[in-house]
């Protein structure tokens, strides 16, 4: 069995603030992108000395750093609007589609999971390499299983 290359796990962020999604793939300048799962764990020890462990949920976040701004990019426009207008709450809500590019179906789509998230800008500016905007995606746990067609950048729930 062969290892799956990292490039085959794709992450598309919805850059649109409207009802019409506009997905942009993360990764051009990223050397690493690893969503972090902070498990919420409850433990209890009984009088027999046994410990019961229950994982009750996850708090998932993913840092995007560096993200170099490119004119004409819908994601850059969305991030810049968040910075310029100081947007918060529902105005920074988006969704992220995680696509498994190693399992294409007959119609050119791939298995995918769409999850709601909020964009939190952590810094912006940068050095002589370019204008950087670092941000974190804070996932809500609201997931929809489906398929994603990278050619048309459309997600279909199944």
In a domain, 1, yes or no: no
**CB count in 10 Å sphere of residue 99:** 25
Spatial separation of the C-alpha atoms in residues 144 and 146, rounded to whole Å: 6
Is pLDDT at 1 greater than 80 in this prediction?
Answer: no
Domain assignment of residue 120, given as a range: 6-157
> What is the pLDDT at residue 19?
86
Residue 73 pLDDT class (50, 70, 90 cuts): very high
Spell out the residues 6+ positions from residue 146 whose beta carbon is closer than 8 angstroms to its own.
112, 113, 114, 155, 156, 157, 158
For residue range 117-141, what is the model confidence (pLDDT) as tens digits? 999 999 999 999 999 999 999 999 9
Q: Could you tell me the CA-to-CA distances from 6 to 33, 69, 103, 140, 154 in Å, in that order?
A: 10, 23, 14, 24, 22
Q: Using an 8 Å Cβ cutoff, are 99 and 13 in contact?
A: no
Is pLDDT at 108 greater than 80 in this prediction?
Answer: yes
> What is the pLDDT at residue 20?
93
Mean pLDDT of the chain: 94
Spatial separation of the C-alpha atoms in residues 134 and 140, rounded to whole Å: 20
Q: What is the CATH number of the domain that holds 35?
A: 2.30.110
In a domain, 55, yes or no: yes
Spell out the residues 6+ positions from residue 30 whose beta carbon is closer than 8 angstroms to its own.
64, 65, 66, 67
User: Whose CA is closest to 67, among 131, 144, 155?
Assistant: 131
Task: Kindly state the average pLDDT of the residues 34-63.
Answer: 93
Spatial separation of the C-alpha atoms in residues 7 and 10, rounded to whole Å: 7
Count of domains for the chain: 1
In a domain, 146, yes or no: yes
In a domain, 78, yes or no: yes
> What is the pLDDT at residue 101?
97
* Cis amide bond preceding 66, omega within 30: yes
Q: Using an 8 Å Cβ cutoff, are 99 and 150 in contact?
A: yes
For residue range 10-29, what is the model confidence (pLDDT) as tens digits? 999 999 988 899 999 999 99
Rounded to two decimals, the pTM is: 0.89
In a domain, 131, yes or no: yes
């Amino acid at each position: 069995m062969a290892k799956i290359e990292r490039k085959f796990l794709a992450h598309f962020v919805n850059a649109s603030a409207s009802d019409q999604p506009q997905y942009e793939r993360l990764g051009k300048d990223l050397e690493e992108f690893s969503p972090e799962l902070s498990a919420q764990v409850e433990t209890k020890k009984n009088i027999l000395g046994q410990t019961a462990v229950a994982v009750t949920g996850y708090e998932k976040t993913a840092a995007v750093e560096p993200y170099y701004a490119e004119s004409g990019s819908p994601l850059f426009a969305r991030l810049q609007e968040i910075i310029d207008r100081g947007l918060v709450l529902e105005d920074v809500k988006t969704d992220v589609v995680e696509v498994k590019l190693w399992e294409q179906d007959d119609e050119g789509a791939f298995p995918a999971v769409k999850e709601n998230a909020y964009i939190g800008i952590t810094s912006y500016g940068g050095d002589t390499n370019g204008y950087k905007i670092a941000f974190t995606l804070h996932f809500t746990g609201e997931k929809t299983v489906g398929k994603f067609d990278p050619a048309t950048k459309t997600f279909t729930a199944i």
